[in-house]
């Protein structure tokens, strides 16, 4: 099966779940607080509902960092931003943005093709969190 066909079987929700879990584990462990934050403060809950087979995709090695980035690079800037907001919310959930988390965030942002800046991301995350209050 070609790479394009495999990517078409996955969507932005698969990509978001994978990258959020990658961020969650980037400092050594994905804590309950990080999981809770991702589900309650981001859109991860709806992503899990839209991609119930994401775990199978990871186990089959179809879903990985490269395929997640490829999927997101086919999406709009707004979709990429929402994914990054989820990733950043997960990283900040313990109150500290550690070195491993900074590295993962920088790597993901550098591979996305819509040119989202750190300032844009921080402003969008603040607006998102403000909207939840």
Number of structural domains found in the chain: 1
CATH code (residue 71): 1.10.3680
**Residue 81 confidence (pLDDT):** 95
**Residue 74 confidence (pLDDT):** 95
Rounded to 5 degrees, what angle do the CA atoms 45, 52, 41 make?
Answer: 10
Judge contact between 15 and 72, C-beta under 8 A.
yes
The boundaries of the domain holding residue 112 are 3-132
Interatomic CA distance for residues 30 and 7, integer angstroms: 26
**Residue 1 confidence (pLDDT):** 47
Interatomic CA distance for residues 6 and 105, integer angstroms: 25
**Residue 72 confidence (pLDDT):** 96
**Residue 8 confidence (pLDDT):** 56
Q: What is the mean pLDDT of each run of 10 residues along the chain (133 residues)?
A: 56 90 81 73 75 81 91 96 91 83 94 95 90 80
């Amino acid at each position: 099966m070609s790479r394009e066909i495999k990517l078409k079987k996955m969507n932005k929700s698969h990509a978001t779940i994978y990258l959020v879990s990658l961020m969650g584990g980037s400092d050594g462990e994905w804590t309950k607080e990080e999981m809770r934050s991702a589900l309650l403060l981001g859109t991860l809950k709806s992503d899990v509902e839209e991609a119930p087979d994401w775990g199978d995709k990871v186990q089959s090695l179809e879903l990985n960092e490269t395929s997640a980035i490829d999927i997101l690079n086919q999406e709009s800037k707004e979709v990429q931003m929402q994914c990054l907001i989820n990733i950043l919310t997960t990283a900040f959930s313990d109150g500290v943005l550690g070195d491993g988390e900074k590295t993962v965030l920088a790597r993901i942002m550098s591979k996305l093709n819509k040119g989202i800046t750190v300032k844009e991301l921080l402003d969008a995350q603040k607006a998102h969190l403000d909207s939840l209050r």
